[in-house]
Amino acid sequence: MKMNTKYLKLFIFLFLLNSITLILYFSSHPHLFHHRPTTPTTTTHHQSTISDHTHLPSPPNSNKPWPILPSYLPWSLNPNTHFRSCESYFGNGFTRRIDLLKPVQTGGWFRCFYSETLRSSVCEGGGLRMHPEKVKMSMGGEVLESVIGRSEDEELPEFEDGAFDLVGQKRGVERVASEGFLNEFVPRGAVERHTMRDLIGSMRFVGADEFHCSEWVEEPTLLITRFEYANLFHTITDWYSAYVSSRVTGLPNRPQIVFVDGHCMTQLEETWKAVFSGLRYAKNFSGPVCFRHAILSPLGYETAMFRGLSETVDCDGASAHDLWQKPDDKKTARISEFGEMIRAAFSLPLHQQHHSSKSGSRNHNVLFVRREDYLAHPRHAGKVQSRLSNEQEVFDALKSWSTGHTECKINLINGLFAHMSMKEQVRAIQDASVIVGAHGAGLTHIVSATPDTEILEIVSSEYRRPHFELISKWKGLNYHPIYLGGSHASPSVVIAKLRDILKNIGC
């Protein structure tokens, strides 16, 4: 009875939080009540114009709903969010709003929300048109084996003037964004080829009489350019940026995705499709395509997950319940919220706790995340660089030790991620009491680990980088490193460290 009451209170709490978010969304997006057609989600029209779609009621929203997440806290544009607080770093600091075009009778509008902390913007607009033929890049979405040897320059977009345009001509003004605006709110920073900046820089104003569309996309849509799209760490920064953009702009449902790049298909698209509502490539469109509501997601390089590698992001993971009761600038629940979003997208349970001796069970999954050869992208030789030269020896030693462990049952899981679906990878992370692995992108999956998971990273002297120590800290997970003098690990040292970890969790 007490347990049922606890879950009922939790459900009511989460329901109220989501209700508050919806109220904030519609109060800050009054333009979304106007200029919507009665056509399906994505409808093809022969040379239709913006005026054809004025004053018609809004269509039903067919995008996937947001799941109820235990770690969810409301996202709001609170101008009092402290500079360099954890909320500001992890996405709730896009508080400076700049309107380049306010909603007009013709239906066009465009604005950005700037974060002083991250030095980047989330931008959104309506009555926005893309001309695919003016975006120079490969088609994208091909089977990897069919484009072996293709250069990265061919896959990244180059925007001609007018590649994107916006209905609602300002008198005497052609460009939507000046160079001064771009320098201030979409700074190039350390990114040599800043595709979001270049996309906005290509945007021009057009009159309603010139706004012809071969296709309308009615549902909110994220326009995303990926760089290191085949690397899990960098892709997770893109997932996180897309998730933050969706929340900052208050989308009531999960958006569609359009990749404005020419990269081929990868295994990682499985998660893009699971987390969001649909996926297309810019070059899939055969003519000028118009978006009723487009959101431009910042580069993954501009998230705290990447910035934390070069600047101090001093935040500790905490529960959403604790932060709701007592906000703390030095704590965050956002990475836990994001990890729950990924698990929910794959329909995996969100309230799962690992077995412990306290609950009467003596079973523990120890997941060993392996590095193995696979073909990652067109310029890849199919060989991965070893971070642990005797990985197989360490795994075999752990296997032998685990079978003879008498204090409790240890299930050693062989995490050959390159040959597992993304859902299987996330499920293995979720089910693990302890996650072991050498430094490598596969460990980035710990964003989806449950709150009581222990992390054991084997760190070679050549790859002493803080990626996974930071993610563990931001999630509030216990992190245990083994620092090597080179790339060879003593199996007995790894076993001793693992034994201590298991002893501390009651095994």
Q: Decide if 108 is inside a domain.
A: yes
Same domain, 366 and 411: yes
DSSP 186-221: S--TT-SS-HHHHHHHH-EEE-GGG-EEEEEE-S-E
Domains in the chain, number: 3
pLDDT given for residue 47 in this prediction = 39
Higher pLDDT among residues 199 and 6, named by residue: 199
Residue where one domain finishes, among candidates 273, 307, 341: 307
HEC assignment per residue over 21-57: HHHHHHHHCHHHHCCCCCCCCEEEEEEEEHHHHCCCC
Per-residue tokens: 424 = 């299987």
Give the burial class of 295: count Cβ atoms within 10 A of its Cβ; 0-12 exposed, 13-18 middle, 19 or more buried. buried
CA distance 376 to 144: 8
Same domain, 170 and 289: yes
| β-pair type (109-115, 120-126) | antiparallel
Same domain, 113 and 260: yes
Same domain, 149 and 292: yes
Stretch among 76-85, 172-181, 196-205, 491-500 having the lowest mean pLDDT: 76-85
Same domain, 337 and 252: no
Residue where one domain finishes, among candidates 259, 278, 307: 307
Does 4 score more than 60 pLDDT? no
Which are the contacts of 70, defined by CB distance < 8 A and separation ≥ 6?
10, 14, 320, 340, 350, 351
Q: Does pTM top 0.95 for this prediction? A: no
Does 358 score more than 80 pLDDT? no
What is the rounded average pLDDT of the residues 113-118? 96
Residue 157 structural domain: 34-58+86-307
Which are the contacts of 302, defined by CB distance < 8 A and separation ≥ 6?
118, 119, 120, 189, 241
pLDDT in tens, 55-79: 333 445 689 999 999 999 999 877 7
| β-pair type (158-159, 135-136) | antiparallel
Same domain, 300 and 362: no
pLDDT given for residue 6 in this prediction = 54
pLDDT given for residue 381 in this prediction = 73
Stretch among 199-203, 270-274, 398-402, 404-408 having the lowest mean pLDDT: 404-408
pLDDT given for residue 351 in this prediction = 83
CA distance 211 to 288: 9
CA distance 407 to 224: 50
pLDDT in tens, 430-489: 999 999 999 989 999 999 999 999 999 999 998 888 999 999 999 999 999 999 999 999
Residue where one domain finishes, among candidates 255, 278, 307: 307
Amino acid at 395: F
Residue 374 binned pLDDT confidence (cut-offs 50, 70, 90): low
Residue 342 binned pLDDT confidence (cut-offs 50, 70, 90): very high
Mean pLDDT score of the chain: 87
Does 279 score more than 80 pLDDT? yes
Same domain, 284 and 346: no
Q: Decide if 72 is inside a domain.
A: no
Higher pLDDT among residues 389 and 105, named by residue: 389
Cα 477 from chain centre: 20
**Cα distances (Å, whole numbers) of residue 355 to 4, 220, 412:** 20, 41, 15
Stretch among 61-75, 181-195, 229-243, 369-383 having the lowest mean pLDDT: 369-383
Same domain, 248 and 341: no
Same domain, 272 and 421: no
Q: What's 483's domain CATH number? A: 3.40.50.2300
Q: Decide if 455 is inside a domain.
A: yes
Q: Decide if 81 is inside a domain.
A: no
pLDDT in tens, 377-403: 888 876 667 789 999 999 999 999 999
Does 269 score more than 50 pLDDT? yes
Q: Decide if 404 is inside a domain.
A: yes
Which stretch of DSSP H or E encloses residue 478?
A: strand 478-483
How much of the chain, in percent, has pLDDT values that exceed 90?
72
Same domain, 297 and 351: no
pLDDT in tens, 403-420: 988 778 999 999 999 889
CA distance 476 to 481: 15
Q: Decide if 473 is inside a domain.
A: yes
Shortest CA distance to 152 belongs to which of 134, 140, 163, 143?
A: 140
Same domain, 143 and 237: yes
Q: Decide if 74 is inside a domain.
A: no
Same domain, 22 and 39: no
Q: Decide if 106 is inside a domain.
A: yes
